[in-house]
Amino acid sequence: MSSSQSFKRYELPPLPYKIDALEPYISGQVIDVHYNGHHKGYVTNSNATLEKLEKINRGEISGYDIQGVIRNLVFNVNGHKLHSLYWQNMAPNGKGGGKPGGKLADLIATQYGSFDKFKQIFTEAMRSLPGTGWTVLYYDTETGNLEFTTFENHFMNHIAELPVVVIVDEFEHAYYLQYKNNRNSYIDAWWNVVNWDDAEKRLEKYLK
Ligand code: MN
C-alpha cells in the first residue's frame, strides 16, 4: 500500500457576514465563540480524525477503537456541515425575519394554512427539543412535504445531506452567553434573523 494515500481535508468556510451582524438578536460575542471556537473545532477535529484513519490505513496504529474513530468522525463532520448551513440560514444587518415568499410561502400555505400556524408549530418543535441539538425544516423528496425533525447532538444516523430548508442550532453555546438558560428567548430572537431568501434558494434546488 502506498504511503501517499490520503483523505482530502475539510475547511472552515468564511462566515458570510461580520461577527456582530446579527445583533441585537445574537451578539457578536456569541457568534465569535460559536464560529471561531466551536465550528473551527469541528473542522480541526474532523481533519485530525481523518489523519488517524490514514495512519490506521497505513498500519501505523495498532490497538485502535474503530467504533470510537467513526463516532468521532460523524460528530465532527456533521458539526461542520450543520454549522455551515446554520450561518447561511441567518441574514445580517436587519435583513432577516419577516415572512418567506416564493415557493416556500406556497408550500406553507398549502400545508399549514397560514404562516402564523407554521411559525407556531415550528416554535413548539424548537421548544420541545430535549437538551442539545438542532431543529430542522426539511423538504421530503418522497412526499413533497415540508417536514420537521430534530437532531440530538450532531447524530442523524447519516451525514448531513438531508434536504435542509431551515435549521436552528439549539446547543447551549448558541445562546448561553447572551440568554443564559432562557432558550425560549433565543428561539424568539432567532425568528428575527432567519434568512428566507436562503431557505427559498435551498427549497428550489430540491424541487428541480
Ligand atoms: Mn453550534
Is residue 41 located within the same domain as residue 112?
A: no
Q: What is the CATH number of the domain that holds 139?
A: 3.55.40.20
Contact 10, 77 (CB under 8 A): yes
* Distance (Å) from CA 138 to ligand 1 centroid: 19
In a domain, residue 184? The reply is yes
Is residue 83 located within the same domain as residue 108?
A: no
Is residue 82 located within the same domain as residue 123?
A: no
* Distance (Å) from CA 86 to ligand 1 centroid: 8
pTM (two decimals): 0.89
Cα distances from 117 to residues 11, 123, 126, 153, 170, in angstroms, run: 39, 10, 14, 27, 22
In a domain, residue 163? The reply is yes
Question: Could you list the residue range(s) of the whole structural domain that residue 194 is in?
Answer: 102-204
Is residue 182 located within the same domain as residue 113?
A: yes
* Distance (Å) from CA 115 to ligand 1 centroid: 27
* Distance (Å) from CA 173 to ligand 1 centroid: 6
Q: What is the band of 16 on the pLDDT scale with cuts at 50, 70, 90?
A: very high
* Distance (Å) from CA 176 to ligand 1 centroid: 11
Residue 62: strand, helix, or coil: coil
Is residue 118 located within the same domain as residue 59?
A: no
Measured between alpha carbons, how far is 160 from 79 in angstroms, rounded to an integer?
Answer: 9
Total domains in the fold of the chain: 2
In a domain, residue 21? The reply is no
Is residue 83 located within the same domain as residue 126?
A: no
In a domain, residue 181? The reply is yes
Is the previous residue joined to 163 through a cis bond, with omega within 30 degrees of 0?
A: no
**What pLDDT digit, counting tens, does each position of 87-129 carry?**
999 999 999 999 999 999 999 999 999 999 999 999 999 999 9
